[in-house]
């Protein structure tokens, strides 16, 4: 009888251990597994601020830093897309403050796209973006003005502005906070085919991915 009693206790212990192992295994299966980083993690919609920096003498001490312009950017798997590229300050620099408002209105929303190539950093905590910008072309057609007699006046010639855009450094997408930082630089401007001297202008973007 005593042997039978010990045998039952042994079988009960084996069954109990089996149940514990099963529960632990199920708990492990239920735990979410972390996703592996992928270069497509950078794809999405972003909002934030853009600041324009001119290559002029350094600002005097105590001068406030500009707040920046609100911008929205979309990243596909191979392109950065600006549906409304902020060109108001650039146009003002080209034509002056007096003429700028009418031209800005005539230009309307400016779409701009550029290709990029993504790559991980060594720790896979960030993705660098190497850009290949194309020139930004603004074609402006001025409306004709009617004379007092109701006849059309002399037609204003169209204005074509070709802006050479470069990327002075790679952009960065940081997983911490889903932050995207990039810089674009205007290195040259032509108005109706004629070069225009302007200080080097840098567009600095600090953006966050929309959830």
Rounding to the nearest 10 degrees, give the CA dihedral for residues 58, 167, 75, 134.
120
- State whether 84 and 156 are in the same domain: yes
pLDDT score at 154: 54
95-131 per-position pLDDT tens digit? 788 888 888 888 888 999 999 999 999 999 999 999 9
Give the domain extent around 132: 39-209
- State whether 69 and 138 are in the same domain: yes
- State whether 43 and 28 are in the same domain: no
- Tell me, yes or no, if the pTM score tops 0.85: no
Contacts of 100 (CB under 8 A, 6+ apart): 88, 91, 92
The C-alpha atoms of residue 129 and residue 118 are separated, in whole angstroms, by 5
- Our measurement of the distance from residue 174's CA atom to the centroid of its chain's CA atoms, rounded to an integer in Å, reads 12
- State whether 26 and 4 are in the same domain: yes
Inter-residue contact 138 to 87 (CB < 8 Å): yes
124: exposed, middle or buried (C-beta count within 10 Å: 0-12, 13-18, 19+)? exposed
The C-alpha atoms of residue 182 and residue 50 are separated, in whole angstroms, by 10
Record the tokens describing residue 121, joined without a space. 């950093």
- State whether 53 and 11 are in the same domain: no
- State whether 76 and 165 are in the same domain: yes
- State whether 6 and 108 are in the same domain: no
CA angle 86, 41, 209 (to 5 degrees): 40
- State whether 112 and 26 are in the same domain: no
- State whether 71 and 143 are in the same domain: yes
What confidence tier does 39 reach under pLDDT thresholds 50, 70, 90?
very high
**Of 133, 132, 127, which Cα lies nearest the Cα of 180?**
127
- State whether 93 and 137 are in the same domain: yes
- Per the structure, the count of domains in the chain is 2
- In the block, tokens 């059309």 appear at 152
């Amino acid at each position: 009888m005593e042997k039978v009693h010990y045998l039952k206790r042994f079988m009960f212990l084996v069954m109990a251990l089996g149940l514990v192992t099963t529960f632990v295994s199920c708990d492990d299966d239920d735990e979410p597994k972390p996703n592996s980083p992928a270069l497509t993690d950078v794809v999405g919609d972003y909002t934030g601020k853009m600041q324009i920096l001119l290559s002029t003498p350094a600002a005097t001490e105590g001068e406030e830093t500009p707040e920046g312009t609100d911008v929205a950017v979309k990243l596909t798997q191979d392109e950065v897309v600006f549906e409304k590229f902020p060109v108001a300050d650039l146009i003002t620099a080209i034509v002056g403050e007096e003429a700028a408002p009418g031209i800005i209105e005539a230009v309307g929303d400016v779409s701009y796209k550029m290709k990029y190539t993504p790559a991980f950093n060594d720790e896979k905590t960030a993705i660098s973006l190497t850009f290949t910008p194309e020139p930004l072309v603004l074609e402006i057609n001025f409306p004709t003005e009617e004379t007092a007699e109701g006849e059309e006046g002399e037609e204003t010639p169209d204005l074509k502005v070709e802006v050479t855009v470069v990327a002075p450094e790679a952009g960065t997408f940081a997983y911490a906070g889903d932050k995207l930082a990039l810089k674009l630089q205007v290195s040259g401007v032509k108005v109706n085919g004629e070069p225009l001297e302007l200080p080097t202008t840098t567009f600095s973007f600090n953006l966050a991915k929309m959830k």
